[in-house]
Amino acid sequence: MPVITTIEDLRQMAERRVPRVFYDYADSGSWTEQTYRANSSIFHQIRLRQLVAVNMQGRSTRTTMVGHDVAMPVALAPTGFTGMQHADGEILAAQAAEAFGVPFTLSTMSICSIEDVAMATTRPFWFQLYVMRDREFAASLIDRAKAAGCSALVLTLDLQLLGQRHKDLKNGLGVPPRLSVANMVNIAMKPRWCMGMLGTHRRTFRNIVGHAKGVDNLKTLSEWTAAQFDQALTWDDIDWIRDRWGGTFIIKGIMDPEDARRAADKGADAIIVSNHGGRQLDGALTPLEVLPQIVDAVGDRTEVHLDSGIRSGQDVLKAVAMGAKGTYIGRAFLYGLGAMGKAGVTKALEIIHKELDTTLGLVGRTDIHDLNMDNLIFPHQVPEPFGPAKWKKRARAK
């Protein structure tokens, strides 16, 4: 077993072990993937202010997210097809998150159902809702999440219209995937994955099949999902969702201060600044770029969380220093899941926590709540001779 020290190590392992059609689903963006790449690269442009001779003992990364105690300001994001990265993937990820002390969020488009995860865990998890044209079915999802004891509802607003994801189209993504010769050969070369899938009966969208009207097999599932994402969804639809849920309510997919204020007006306990991991509007700004404006726009009316692009504990620290009360990891835990199952998700969390804890000390802080903009150095603040003004002078001289 190789020594695993970074999320990138897990990514490389997952790439070898997960069939291409499902690995590409997790590790890709829409259109040119410009935004997908920028989500991560933007973190690298921000430097850290190093302070020394500071008592670093007794560091703590513990905090709360919407009133829930967490070991660090990180939750597992809702991700579709999680159970196709590894057999029973949602169950394993939820168990790993529970043991580590961070929230797990189950996607509407999960392979394991709400009830599957509830039976396999002992603490409440969060449920993410896509609003379908079939409002009766959407209401039933809310009711099932309440019955399962879910402690927060995450409403995603940025998937009314599916962004074009070229890799998924070329790979024939589906459950099961299109059985092209290339797909069959690639799947056959992943014996560990195949054995896991043979050992489980969870291989379809179990939140939908058997629950939505007329959806009882893969053919009807495909037809139903193709027609169900609701392009007519507006802010006027939020009230009935919030009221039917009646508990902790989070709105995901906010990228503009105006929308942030609207979400706060609708009573959201938190908003997630997110561009869907670069899988929707290619060419959009990154969540980190708009985070300060959104924090200013809502003040203390609602918590501001962030996802998209986080691959390390330093990324988490930078987001928190810029005002986020919590962050979410999607691909980072999926890489771990695809690489090593439950142990891989735990490893991903351990890596991020170790990086966060170490960096917290090296920037001169002992409590995650003490982070702020003073801990960061932005490109325009880089001192001479490397600052932007100096480079511009050199360019003119040439």
Give the residue numbers annotated as catalytic, written as ranges: 276
Question: Is 311 labelled as part of a ligand binding site?
Answer: yes
Annotated binding-site residue? 61:
no
365 annotated binding-site participant: no
Residues 216 and 226: their CA atoms lie apart, in Å, by 15
List, in sequence order, every residue forming a beta bridge with 69; answer none if it has no partner: 64
252 is in an annotated binding site: yes
Q: Is the peptide bond before 176 cis (omega within 30 degrees of 0)?
A: yes
Does 203 count as an annotated binding residue? no
165 belongs to an annotated ligand binding site: yes
From the CA atom positions of the chain, what is the Rg in Å?
A: 21
**What are 251's strand-pairing partners?**
155, 271
- Residue 6 assigned ligand-binding role: no
In degrees and rounded to multiples of 5, residue 366 shows phi and psi of -120, -10
User: Residue 251 and residue 239: Cα distance in Å, rounded?
Assistant: 12
H helices of the chain, in order, are 7-17, 20-26, 34-44, 82-85, 89-100, 114-120, 135-147, 166-171, 181-188, 191-198, 218-228, 238-245, 257-265, 287-298, 313-321, 331-340, 342-362, 388-397
Q: Computed from CA positions of residues 146, 105, 253, 14, in that sequence, does the dihedral angle turn out positive or negative?
A: negative
130 is in an annotated binding site: yes
* DSSP string of 324-386, one letter each residue: -SEEEESHHHHHHHHHHTHHHHHHHHHHHHHHHHHHHHHTT-SBGGG--GGGEE-GGGPPTTS
Q: Is 128 annotated as a binding residue?
A: yes
Per the DSSP assignment, residues forming a β-bridge with 320 are none
Q: What angle do CA 303, 309, 312 make, to 5 degrees?
A: 90
Q: Is there a binding annotation on residue 219?
A: no
φ, ψ for residue 368, nearest 5 deg: -55, -25
The answer on whether 309 is annotated among ligand-binding residues is: yes
Q: Is 283 annotated as a binding residue?
A: no
156 carries a ligand binding annotation: yes
Q: Which residue has the tokens 């044209």?
A: 133
State yes or no: 107 annotated in a binding site: yes
Binding residues for FMN: 78-80, 107, 128, 130, 156, 252, 274, 307-311, 330-331
Binding residues for glyoxylate: 25, 165, 276, 279
